[in-house]
Each structure stands twice: as C-alpha cells, then as structure tokens.
Structure 1
Amino acid sequence: MKADAIVFQSPCNLAVQSLDLRSLGDGDVEVEVAYSGISTGTERLLWDGSMPPFPGMGYPLVPGYETVGRVVRTQGDCQLAIGDHVFVPGSYSFEGVHNLFGGAGSRLVVQASRVVRLDAAPGASMVLLALAATAYHTVSYGGTRAPDTPPDLIVGHGVMGRLLARLTVAAGAPAPVVWETQAQRRDGAEGYSVVHPDEDDRKNYRAIYDVSGDADILHRVIPRLDKGGEVVLAGFYKQDISFAYAPAFMREAQIRVAAEWKRPDLLAVTELVQTGRLSLDGLLTHTATPARAGDAYATAFGDPHCLKMVLDWRH
C-alpha cells in the first residue's frame, strides 16, 4: 500500500512522493491524516541541512511529528478502534526513506501505544499538542522529578513562547514577562506582557526560559538573573553555546537544558486542552495543501508573520 508524503530529498530540496507504507504489525493502527504541522525548530534544521548529528539522520527523509487524523485500520491487540481520532507524534511508516520524524504523510502506520486518542474530531490546532508538551516538559520533567520553578521571563514569542506563557498562567503562577525583538510578534499576549528586551531593565529574574534558539542567549540573560537564578535552554541550538564566567559566578547562576517531551507531558497537555484550561486559539496563522508544500515550507521558515503553518491532507 502507498501513501503520499513530504520528502526532503536533500537540503532545501523537497517533493511530494508516493511511498510504500510498511505492513501493519501486532498493535499497529493505520491513520488517515487530516492535518500535519511544520516545525520551525528541528524541521527547519532538517530542511536547510544544519541539523547536528541526530539518531536516524539522513536523506531522503520524511519529516513531521505534529499530526492528527482518524484510525481506519487496526491490527492485533490494540486499545484503539476504527473511527477513533488521534494525535500522532511521528512514525516509522515509510519504506525506502529515513523517517525523521515520519509524520508528514496522507496515511501513517504507527504503534497504537504511541498515539493519543482525542475526544472528538480534531481541528487543525491540535497539531500543536507536541509543542505544548515540549513547553510543559521544561517545567515538569515528564513527571520524573518534582516540577521546577516556572518562568518569570521567557525569551521568544513564537508559538513555543506563547504556549509556555499560557501554561504558566493556567497553572496559577505569576504572569511571566516575554521578550520579543520582532515588532510583528509582540501582539497576541493572553494574561502576560510582551516587551522588547531593551525596554526591560529588570535584573532579578529567578527563572529565565529561552525558546528562541539563539546560541548567544546566555551572554544576554545571565546579567538579568537574581542570585542563584536559573536559565533554562528550551530551544534547539545548532551552534555551540558559551557564556562569560564572571557574571555567572557573581550570580551563582544555574544553567539547565530541557530535552524533548515525554508521554506524560503529552497526556497532560491533551487533558488541559480538552478540558478548556489551555487554549490553542490564535496560534495557527497559515494553512496550505500538500500540493503547495514548497511554498508552505518557504513561508513557514521565512515569513515572520507566520507563527504556524499547517498542511491540510483532507483534499
């Protein structure tokens, strides 16, 4: 059986191809895809060829780990039923290519244990569950230890920054300040403030979370820490990160790296969204069909007005 998929044939070289789907094994489901999101973090690095060494890396590859759709077939022992709506955080569906992360296709074959059942037919905004889980994980550690101090400063007001700010407010913590250098991205705040860094002279932040991916960020934020404060690196950085020792020493600064989300994070944010405690409204700005994938990726990675691009596979 075949399905259409986005294929990065080489850096900056994209095509929509019909690929062989792997056969269903015990506990697998086949998902008819409705929407998939384009990640401006890791997927951008795969697109332009700047991704650091990563397990499974290689071209050609099928990207994508933000997919929603409907179960159309099951195999063996499976807790899902035909007709269930699900979120799919990537797959190893396609033969003859690297599946990194394998979610950008018209149909997917995936272990039922990897997907998350949704309460109702998903709107396009549900592709944001993976990014919401990533934001949630920066504080929660996937439930492997006690939660950390939530941010009082977030660097970057893209979708990740907005989700982290919304989660902080939803948790009842004090509203964070968000730094954003691009004027067109300083709107859309819900219960928190967004400012240009030059407009903020505060120097006693306890927890600064960077979601910008700027490798020079430590030079800018360590001088803004309170004594014993923490910087959390929650972006994806393709260059080595360094910092000046003296400012960090004087503040006894802590620096932490937040890794990818775990399943408990994904389950937690799914419940928050489905119970109305976390809103995904206003975060999707662009939609395209797979036939216009080349233009869609160029817009997603090059247009500062594009917060999130979604591919609509229903047509």
Structure 2
Amino acid sequence: MKRILFLIISILFILGTAQAQNGKRIPAKGFAIDSADGHFHQHEFTRHAVGDNDILIEILYAGICHSDLHAAWDEQQPQGNFATYPMIPGHEIAGRVVQIGKNVTKFNVGDFAGVGCMVNSCGHCNSCDIHKEQFCLNGTTFTYNCPDKYHDNEISMGGYSNNIVVSENFGIKIPANADIKRVAPLLCAGVTPWSVIQFSNVKNGDKVAVVGYGGLGHMAVQYMVSLGADVSIFDITEEKRSDALRMGALKYININNENELKGLNNSFDFIVTTVPFDYEILPYVQMLKMGGEMAILGLPANSTINIANLALGASQRKVYGSLIGGIKETQKMLDYSVKNNIYPEVEIIRADAQEIDKAYRNVSDGKVKFRYVIDMSTLK
C-alpha cells in the first residue's frame, strides 16, 4: 500500500512539474545550516530554471559524506571563512527525472538519475577534454557551497532537498534495476576510490591496503576484492574487524595494537588512504614496495601533513592525491557497481533536521557503519 501511495505521489509530482513554464525558477525546500556551530532546519529556496539542456530531478535519496561536515562546520581551510550560509550540503544524490529541456537526449522523464560532487564546468579546457571535469582549468562548479558562474554566480545548493536542476552532461544515468536506496553514496564514496584504483591499475594478485575503513574505505575494499587483489585494512577500532573479513579482506590491522603493525614495511603494491583527520602518513609510505603507489583521498580539516618528510621517506615510491572522478568514469563506476552488486552499506534516516544533526555527530565520532542516507521522500 505504501509503495502504491508513493507511486501516485510521484506521478502527480511528475505531472505537476511537467507543466512548469520554461524560464521560471523552480521552487525547492531542504535542510540548511546557518553557521559553523548551528543546527539544521528546513529552508525554502529556488533553483535556476530548467534550461534547454537541463534536467529536473526529484531527489529520492541523499548521502551524508564526511566532507559535508567539513563544509558545514567551515573546516575546509585553516582560517575557515570558506562556507557560505545558509548552506544546504549533499553531493551524493539519487532520484527520478521529472522534467527535461527541449535539447536533452540522455534522459527521459521517469528515468533514475544521479548527481555527484559537481554540476558544471567549462567543457572545453584540457581537463574537460579528457573527461576530468573535477579539475576544470576554468573552475568547476561543485554541487553545493560554490558560486555557479554559469547561473549568475548564485551559490549552489546541495542534495539535502527535494529537487535539483542540472545539465544533462552532469547527470549520471542510474540503471533501472539498481538498488536505488543505496546508489547515492556511490557518486562520491564509490567513484573517489574507483578513480585511483583504475589510475594505479590495481589488478588480480596485487597486495593492496586501505587506510581508514569508513565510507570511502569500505567501497575501496569491495572494488579491489572484486578485481582479485589481496586486501588489508588499517583502522582504529575492533568493531569493524568482522565486517572487513566478511567483505573479503585478508587481513585487518588495528593500528592501536603495535604487534599487528610489525613486519609490514615494503609489503604493498598500492595503498589508498581515506582518513578524514590528521594522521602520520609516513609509516604507510614505508609500507609500500619500491615503485609502489599511494593515493591520498582523505580530506582532513586543517591538515598538517609534512610534504618534505613525506618526500624524504618516499624512496622511489609514488604518492599522489586525487579528487572524486570525472563524469565518464563516474558512469563507468556506477554501471560496474550495479552489474557486480557492489553497494555501500547504509543506514537510512528520515528527512528530519534533528535526525541529520544526530547523524553528523555520529559521523564525526566514527559511529556509523558505513554511510548515512537521507530518505528525501519523507520530507514533510
């Protein structure tokens, strides 16, 4: 009965929005925060009009990423002042297309569609030409808390909301058979490790490690296990040991147990670190084999990683950073994930300000396994 009611509501929403006149801004509502020490509350606003090449998505699910906390709490620069309030975070978005512009060919009304960490770029620089829009030389427009130079510099608002308007070029096609409630985190927590795993050509039989077994980390584990690599995991708690072995890891190392850290130098072909706070990185570099590669994905607040010490310890080992993934590789990741039944493990919460506040506290304290997802259909 609930499913039938939900379908009726969705059809009515589609019929209603399909009648929207081109050129008019789109009413929206979501959950905003007004200061670094504030709390979430409902907030009404408008999206830019659906252009000829745009799609309007009814958001069904929105993931909560640790970087959302850094942005909302203004922790992304040592001196802060990076956040623009009111802010609606959220760059892991899954929903249904309810309106399309006249030139759109990639989507039809009724299709599932997703949005990840970015919503626009110039489309013609060297980075965009090689499908690395996240590194656009003329400036990427990120999904929230970012001036949108392609729409009068209005500040982008994210996925903790009931809808979003985006160019079809930045929409991700979600297969009809996907487990839609678990798709949203793939658009950040999935593609971010996927991108570096592909870049470093992880393959069957490689000895690899994941540092930080959270949202990104547990996706990295699943992808590398599916490729046939021998996966070890480093984390700070015993609570996830059984989860690690269940997902196919060969070894779980609790870094608070010194005995488990012995004899690991020169062990790994590839290491991906996903830790979202400051930590000592050099010991992990020394665990690489000569010629091995490390990808740094974690986004610590006010990081103090010492690059000089890192370089001295690298000794013909390769260390690089990365940022999400381009649209083309995001689509490839999503198709691979659905085909191979690789999804994040999620806890679904209601679209409620207090629930989001609580989820933020739990994410900050490391008390989520492994990703919170907001069911936006419960927004009242």
Class of the TM-score when normalised by the shorter of the 2 chains: 0.7 to 0.9
| Distance change in 2, residues 1:241/1:108 (3 Å) | same
List aligned pairs for 1:158-197, cutoff 5 A: 158-172=214-228, 174-189=229-244, 190-192=247-249, 193-197=251-255
Q: By how many angstroms is 1:284 displaced?
A: 0.4
| Distance change in 2, residues 1:28/1:306 (3 Å) | same
Matched AA of 2:166: V
Give the match's secondary structure for 2:34: strand
Matched AA of 1:165: V
Q: Distance in 2 between matches of 1:112 and 1:56?
A: 28
Choose 188-197 or 214-223, whichever is displaced more.
Answer: 214-223
Give the match's secondary structure for 2:286: helix
Q: TM-score, normalised by structure 1?
A: 0.86
| Distance change in 2, residues 1:302/1:210 (3 Å) | same
Partner residue in 2 for 1:240:
304
Matched AA of 1:106: N
Q: Is residue 2:82 matched to residue 1:82?
A: no
Alignment equivalent of 1:200, drawn from 246, 256, 261: 261
Q: Distance in 2 between matches of 1:132 and 1:286?
A: 17
| Distance change in 2, residues 1:107/1:183 (3 Å) | same
Partner residue in 2 for 1:290:
352
Partner residue in 2 for 1:118:
174
Deviation string for 1:251-288 (max 9, x for gaps)? 3332211222111221111111221x24215x103423
Deviation string for 1:174-225 (max 9, x for gaps)? 2211111112233312111322133132111232221113433323313323
Matched AA of 1:108: I
Is the contact between residue 74 and residue 81 of structure 2 (CA under 8 Å) also seen in structure 1? no
Alignment equivalent of 2:201, drawn from 147, 152, 165: 147
Deviation string for 1:217-250 (max 9, x for gaps)? 3233133233333332121133131167499458
| Distance change in 2, residues 1:217/1:137 (3 Å) | farther
Q: Is residue 2:164 matched to residue 1:108?
A: yes
Choose 158-167 or 207-216, whichever is displaced more.
Answer: 207-216
Q: Distance in 2 between matches of 1:214 and 1:17?
A: 30
Give the match's secondary structure for 2:299: coil
Q: Is residue 2:326 matched to residue 1:301?
A: no
Q: Distance in 1 between matches of 2:82 and 2:311?
A: 39
Is the contact between residue 3 and residue 18 of structure 1 (CA under 8 Å) also seen in structure 2? yes
Q: By how many angstroms is 1:299 displaced?
A: 3.0
> Which structure: larger Rg?
2
Q: Distance in 1 between matches of 2:293 and 2:47?
A: 45
Q: Distance in 2 between matches of 1:77 and 1:243?
A: 48
Alignment equivalent of 1:132, drawn from 179, 185, 190: 190
Is the contact between residue 202 and residue 270 of structure 2 (CA under 8 Å) also seen in structure 1? no
Alignment equivalent of 1:11, drawn from 27, 36, 50: 36
Q: By how many angstroms is 1:137 displaced?
A: 0.8
Matched AA of 1:78: V
Partner residue in 2 for 1:310:
373
Is the contact between residue 206 and residue 230 of structure 1 (CA under 8 Å) also seen in structure 2? yes
Partner residue in 1 for 2:85:
59
Matched AA of 2:87: L
Is the contact between residue 211 and residue 234 of structure 2 (CA under 8 Å) also seen in structure 1? yes
Q: Distance in 2 between matches of 1:246 and 1:63?
A: 33
Deviation string for 1:32-84 (max 9, x for gaps)? 111101101x2111122111289985222221111111111112201211111
Q: Distance in 2 between matches of 1:37 and 1:246?
A: 33
Q: Is residue 2:156 matched to residue 1:99?
A: yes
Instruction: Provide the alpha-carbon RMSD of the alignment.
Output: 2.9
Structure 2 gaps of 5+ residues are 1-25, 120-142
Give the match's secondary structure for 1:240: coil
Q: By how many angstroms is 1:26 displaced?
A: 1.1
Is the contact between residue 24 and residue 30 of structure 1 (CA under 8 Å) also seen in structure 2? yes
Q: Distance in 2 between matches of 1:52 and 1:247?
A: 23
Q: Is residue 2:337 matched to residue 1:273?
A: yes
Give the match's secondary structure for 1:285: strand
Give the match's secondary structure for 1:160: helix
Structure 1 gaps of 5+ residues are none
| Distance change in 2, residues 1:180/1:30 (3 Å) | same
